Structure 1
Amino acid sequence: MPEGPETELAQLTELTVVCSVDGTAAAGVAAALRARHTRTAVLVTHDLRALGEGVVRRRVVEDDGEHDAVLELAHACVSCTLREDLLPLLVRLARDPDVAHVVLLLDPGVEVEATCEALHGLVPEGLDRPVTDLFAMRAVVAVLDAATWLDDAGSDDALVERGLALTADDERTVAQIVVGQAEFADVLVVGGQCAGAWERVRLDAVLARLAPRARQVTVADGPGARRDTEIAAMLDGLVNDLPGDARRGVPDDAHVSLLRGQPPLAREAGVSLLHVGHRRPFHPERLHAAFDVLLHGTIRVRGRVWVASQPERVLWLESAGGALQIGVAGTWFAADPTAWEDADDERRAAASLSWHERWGDREQQLVALVHDADPAGIVEALDAALLTDEELALGEDAWRRLPDPFEHRHTDPCPDLDTGVESRRGEGWG
């Protein structure tokens, strides 16, 4: 049989990533996945609870037993763990002909998308390509607790309050972790039980809109070896039947469709997914004031933002529960024609189809997953943050002089707003 892309892929070592804020539950699923494979499978995990002291504990589980090591890092950061230990270890395992499958179990405080982004983007020493080129990514598996997930996803509780913070100054929230895990996963393992049938309907409604491409395994029983083995068998079946648009650990570009996977837009059990689009810029200060509305009663707000004071920049807004951040996601084609050459075909096609005679590709594109707020109030707040006709007529020179709270990387709640825990996008892999 002639060799081609499919033959080459079949020869690669398989990789499955498992994540959860519940380390015990995730460890059970990861161990069952490793034991499921008849050919040699290896489980790799790093315990980062002592990261602030510059110490990381690594465990590798192979057929011949468990191998533990204590790593002392020069810098107490996740990036060092990745570069100095995980990447070289994955390269070694991928090159071992006796290893057919690697299960990577993430520490509960690590962000799964940031991890996968680093695995796809970083080139280990001695290699001329990212480590993921050596693997066939099977799936990202997220383990959720039905009893607590929805409350966690809408909260502003800090990781440090749950003992999950990676360092003493880690200000990330639980919502940032649990929402990111569910949204990025190919398969969701939902364990435990909701307080009642209504709560379960609401949980399912949120997950259907947050992760429309993900397959789901529901397990109501408590943890146990038999249960985990059954989960592994079900997971294998789901992973083998994942749709063609499954993520498989590949991060989305900021310019792709915000409604990929065709999530339901109809309201269900008080849960709504709002899609907001406008062809005029936001007033920076009024948009900042609208954050108070966006951070209450929502699970996720995300999308591309056009702020009048920065007419060249595409800003990316992303919230989880009570934490929000804004960063730069490139430039608009209308402001920087050279960006067209660097963009992929999908972004160029989308821009061409929606090109505005005056504004080009500049627009607002936001989605908000609402579970405990009035959707009309969110739409009203965002509408009120847009430039008025009078402000629009002043032109870009005047817009650039507007006071701008987004001049630098921005996180919310701000220190000067009495809205809870100040948050930032904290350390992930990378």
Structure 2
Amino acid sequence: MSRPELLVLCGLHAPGTEAVITRIRALDPDVAVLHHDLRDIGSGRVHRRLRHGDHDAWTVLELAHGCLSCTLREDLLPQLHRLSEPGGPRRIVLHLDPALEPEQVCWSLLHVLVDDAPITDRVDLRGVITCIDAGSWLDDATGDLTVGERGLAELPDDERTVAQVAVGQAEFADVLVHTGTADAWQLARTDAVLERLAPSATRTFLSGLDAGVLLADLPPGARRGRPDDVHGPLLRGQPPLDRDCGVQLSVFSARRPFHPERLHEAIDALLDGVVRTRGRIWLATRPAAVLWLESAGGGLRIGEAGEWLAAGDAAAWAAADHERRALASLGWHPRFGDRSQDVVVLSHDADPAGIQAALAAALLTDAELAAGEAAWRTFPDPFGWWHTDPCDPPAGVTAAGNPDTEHEEH
């Protein structure tokens, strides 16, 4: 017996997501739409809506702890489990709250166990559809408003910006649907960003939405809800590297470590006029640690993502993915091994040469490099293991990418 198909739908533009749901239901009457409204999650309540055929019911859930993980574990995943039973719908649309990024939810679908198995053993995760309002999306993706300031659901200890949500939703999509209106210039700039942010995603308009929204005919390289490995290639697909409408993708690479204090001073270069920054870095004060750097608009996160292979033993090398071992071997440095700086920056209103210069100036000088690791460990390190801009300790942890990776907030 075939498993029901699962489509994940997200976006900040609520009218757009509802219009896509209407289209999907018209294409396939045997589809169930599951939605958890998180507007009251801070009070321990979640509003669940389930639509299937003529059935349309809202249920108010009282949670022991008002948090996303409780919602996933206590209701969302069990609901998907029940919908996947024999006699259930042929397709399921998981309609995410506007405040949610699909990557964390998909990670839970793939890894959190329900009755000793992940939900993806029972459903066929087809991929992610993201709705984009071109009239407002680029402003959202480059701003610094927090989720709470925007009036979206406030998850406990949530310090994300709207930009981090907007960019995360678009970057993880298999299909991007333009659901709003915009003038020709705004649409061109938005498309230039999306073509570089999510190059493998299909882009279409609500007015021309056809059966492709059911995610049955995606190209072979489609993501289909699978998170990237932080140690994998940073450029997914084949994004254009030329400049278009002021939008440009650039890559910074170096084989010497960053001075942590100078990198901290250079952070503004990764925020002003930049849509997205992501990559792996190493600080002179932490020679063993791979750090993952990720920014969107005015928000930036840095967190530990394991260790460099050069810092491990033979067992660590054997346990690494074969692609990571191959990449490390090809670029192995006689002194630094696989340690390197690899950062991709997507800018829309910044000079890529200025960004490159700011990052290069944060690297160790020849004299500092010659002083050796013992001297490096004495450098001032303003990052600590928890950090924000401005420099106040955060109230909690915000996960991004792999939920097991701890992040500092800037």
TM-score by length of 1: 0.89
Deviates more, 1:364-373 or 1:29-38: 29-38
Which residue is equivalent to 2:287?
311
Aligned mates of 2:199, 2:167 — CA distance in 1 = 13
1:211 correspondence with 2:198: yes
SS of structure 2 residue aligned to 1:49: coil
Question: How far apart, in 1, do the equivalents of 2:157 and 2:40 lie?
Answer: 13
Distance in 1 between the 2:13 and 2:257 partners? 41
CA distance in 1, matches of 2:38, 2:186: 33
Alignment of 1:393-404 (within 5 A): 393-404=370-381
- Following TM superposition, by how much is the alpha carbon of 1:169 offset from its aligned partner in structure 2, in angstroms? 5.1
Structure 1: tracts of 5 or more residues without a match: 1-7, 220-226
| Cα distance in structure 1, aligned partners of 2:307 and 2:400 | 25
RMSD of the TM alignment (CA)? 2.2
- 1:221-370 pair list within 5 angstroms: 231-236=209-214, 239-337=215-313, 338-370=315-347
Tell me, in whole angstroms, the C-alpha distance in 2 between the residues paired with 1:373 and 1:423. Answer: 32
Following the alignment from structure 1 to structure 2, what is the Cα–Cα distance between the partners of residues 67 and 35?
19
* 2:147–2:159 Cα contact (<8 Å) kept: yes
Which residue in 1 is equivalent to 2:406? none
| One-letter amino acid matched to 1:250 | R
Pairing 1:25–2:16 present: yes
How far 1:415 moved relative to its partner?
3.5
Deviation at 1:232, TM superposition (A): 4.8
- Tell me how far apart the structure 1 counterparts of residues 345 and 37 of structure 2 sit (CA, whole Å): 34
Amino acid in structure 2 at the alignment position of 1:58? R
Which residue in 2 is equivalent to 1:106?
96
Distance 1:297 1:139, change over 3 A: same
Aligned to 2:36: 46
More deviation, 141-150/110-119: 110-119
2:116 equivalent to 1:139:
no
Q: 1:328 to 1:416 in 2, by over 3 A?
A: closer
1:381 to 321, 338, 358: 358
Fraction of identical pairs, as percent: 52
Q: Distance in 1 between matches of 2:402 and 2:76?
A: 10
1:120 aligned onto 2:110: yes
| Residues 415, 422 of structure 1: 8 Å contact kept | no
Give the equivalent residue in structure 1 for 2:384.
407
Q: Give, in whole Å, the separation in 2 of the partners of 1:142 and 1:285.
A: 38
Letter in 2 for 1:204: D
SS at match of 1:240: coil
Match for 1:16: what amino acid? L
Shift of 1:168: 7.2
2:176 is the counterpart of 1:188: yes
1:223 paired residue number: none
Please, which runs of 5 or more residues in structure 2 have no aligned partner? 404-410
Once residues 170 and 317 of structure 2 are traced to their aligned partners in structure 1, the CA distance between those partners, rounded to angstroms, is 33
Q: Partner of 1:65 in structure 2?
A: 55
Distance (whole Å) between structure 2 residues aligned to residue 390 and residue 427 of structure 1: 36
Shift, 1:62, TM fit: 1.2
Find the counterpart in structure 1 of residue 160 from structure 2.
Answer: 172
> 1:289 and 1:202 mapped to 2: Cα distance?
29
CA contact (8 A) 2:67 2:156 kept: no
Could you tell me how far 1:345 is from its partner in structure 2?
1.2
Question: C-alpha displacement at 1:165, in angstroms?
Answer: 3.3
1:154 aligns with 2:128: no
Deviation at 1:234, TM superposition (A): 4.4
Matched residue type, 2:351? D
Q: 1:192 to 1:67 in 2, by over 3 A?
A: closer
Q: CA deviation at 1:405?
A: 2.3
Give the aligned residue type for 2:233: S
Compute the displacement of 1:185 (Å): 0.1
Aligned-partner Cα distance in 1 for 2:134–2:396:
25
CA contact (8 A) 2:157 2:397 kept: no
Q: CA deviation at 1:428?
A: 10
- Normalising by structure 2, we get a TM-score of 0.93
Secondary structure in structure 2 of the residue aligned to 1:95: coil
**In structure 1, how many angstroms separate the alpha carbons of the residues matched to 2:200 and 2:266?**
30
Residue in structure 2 matched with residue 163 of structure 1 by the alignment: 151
**SS of residue in 1 equivalent to 2:59:** strand
Alpha carbons 1:115, 1:428 under 8 Å: kept: no
Q: Partners of 2:58 and 2:136 in 1: how far apart? A: 32
Shift of residue 401, structure 1, vs aligned partner: 1.9
The CA distance in 1 between the partners of 2:16 and 2:190, in whole Å, is 19
Please tell me whether the aligned partners of residues 298 and 373 of structure 1 are also in contact (alpha carbons under 8 angstroms). Answer: yes
Partner deviation per Cα, 1:330-386 (whole Å, 9 max, x = no partner): 100101123212211111111111111111100001000000011111000000000
